[in-house]
Copies of this chain bind each other. A is one copy, B any other.
């Protein structure tokens, strides 16, 4: 979550404005609008375009912020089934279901299109990293061997996101296959 969003969390007018802006962006992206501008967003959100110019350097920065916020909901449950294989499988299925929804896929593509310079960290991947680390910690606590967090990100999360943004087929079987593959790395 960006510092802008965080600083307005307590509520009040600025939170309502930000909410309206996020909703407007979500709608425009969801409708498949090709060329989203500050004016379009301001009109839809019922705010003054100046509000947007003051907060964000450009439209891409705003789009990316919304995409990140939409894709990394706090409080996603982390599967806790008692075994790493089933934890990872459930988790991979949750991610698959999430990112293959048409709206989510559009967000992800918008995020890719908005990226330019190498990012020092990607909020989506950081959230996935925390979730993976929690499952690995639990596995270690049970004395179970586990792949590294990096391996889980590179070999489960990355291929799922890759397939989704490139519009290659992704289904539950594919998610299960990736989990089986990553577990082969520790046997």
Contact = CB atoms under 8 A, between A and B. Distances in A.
Interface residues of A, number: 33
A158 interface: yes
Nearest to A100: B118
Interface in A157-183: 158-159, 161-163, 165-169, 177-178, 181
Contact of A119 (B34, B167, B177, B181): B167
A146 interface: no
A111 interface: yes
B119 A115 contact: no
B181 A155 contact: yes
Given A151-B181, A162-B162, A181-B185, A167 B117 contact: yes
Given A112-B109, A181-B151, A185-B185, A118 B167 contact: yes
A35 interface: yes
Nearest to A186: B184
Contacts of A158: 158-159, 162-163
B155 A115 contact: no
Contacts of A154: 155, 159, 177-178, 181
Contacts of A161: 162, 166
A31 interface: no
A61 interface: no
A107 to B, nearest CB: 12
B166 A122 contact: yes
Interface string A124-151: 1100000000000000000000000011
A165 to B, nearest CB: 5
Contacts of A168: 118-119, 122, 125
Nearest to A106: B116
Interface string A56-87: 00000000000000000000000000000000
